[in-house]
């Protein structure tokens, strides 16, 4: 038992599949922190069912 109800892997959501060691340039300015597009992708990557919310 982990003590957690679920997990959201933001690293997997943000990584560039063809270059997994990097964040894509369109979602970061400094290759470390997400920009607005990165945060949008993070939000869209959340399965609302994990939070007990109905899907939209």
Residues 19-41 have pLDDT tens digits of 888 889 999 988 889 999 999 99
Residue 29 in tokens: 């300015």
Question: 28 - beta bridge partners?
Answer: 34
In a domain, 1, yes or no: no
Number of domains forming the structure of the chain: 1
Mean pLDDT of the chain: 88
Is the pLDDT confidence value at 1 over 70? no
Distance, CA of 47 to CA of 37 (rounded, Å)? 18
21: number of CA atoms within 13 Å, CB side? 0
**pTM higher than 0.75 for the full model?**
yes
In a domain, 17, yes or no: yes
Q: Where are the alpha helices (DSSP H) in 1-56?
A: 10-14, 36-44
In a domain, 4, yes or no: no
Which residues span the domain enclosing 14? 10-51
Give residue 12's pLDDT band: very low, low, confident or very high (50, 70, 90). very high
């Amino acid at each position: 038992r982990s003590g957690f109800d679920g997990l959201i892997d933001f690293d997997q959501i943000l990584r560039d599949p063809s270059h997994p060691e990097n964040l894509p340039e369109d979602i970061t300015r400094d290759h470390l922190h997400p920009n607005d597009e990165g945060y949008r992708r993070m939000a869209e990557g959340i399965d609302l069912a994990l939070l007990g919310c109905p899907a939209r």
